[in-house]
Amino acid sequence: MSSSINNIENLREAALTLLREVETLASRQEPQVNEKLALQEEVARFESDLIRQALQRTHGNQRRAAQLLGVKVTTLNCKIKRLGIQTDLSHGFTQTNTDQNRPF
C-alpha cells in the first residue's frame, strides 16, 4: 500500500515538474527581427530559470541548490534577492521582478 502512495506521489511530482517546464517554454518568445536583444536581460532570465530549477530539484533547500549550481550559498542568496525569486514552497518558485512580463 505504501509503495502505491509513493508511486502516486512520484507521478504527481513528475506531472507538476512537466507542467512547470511547459509553462516556462510557453513563456519564452522568439525576439522579433526588428527588436533589440538585451544581453543582460536574457542572461538574467536564464540565470533565474536555472536557480528556480535547482530550488525545485532540491525542494527549496538553498544549500543543496547552491551545490548543484556550483556557487556559494551566500552568492545564491544574493542572486535570489537580486532577481526577485520567491522561495515559498506552497506557491512554487516564481520571479516577482516586474521585468518578468516584459516582451523581448
User: Which set of grid coordinates corresponds to residue 58?
Assistant: 532540491
Q: How do the domains of the chain map onto residue ranges? A: 2-27+39-96
Phi, psi of 88 (to 5 degrees): -80, 115
Q: State pLDDT tens for residues 1-23.
A: 567 777 787 777 887 787 778 77
Q: What is 2-27+39-96's CATH superfamily?
A: Homeodomain-like (1.10.10.60)
Per residue in 33-89, pLDDT tens?
666 778 888 999 999 999 999 999 999 999 999 999 999 999 999 999 999 998 765
- Candidates 23, 9, 1, 3; CA nearest to 93 is 23
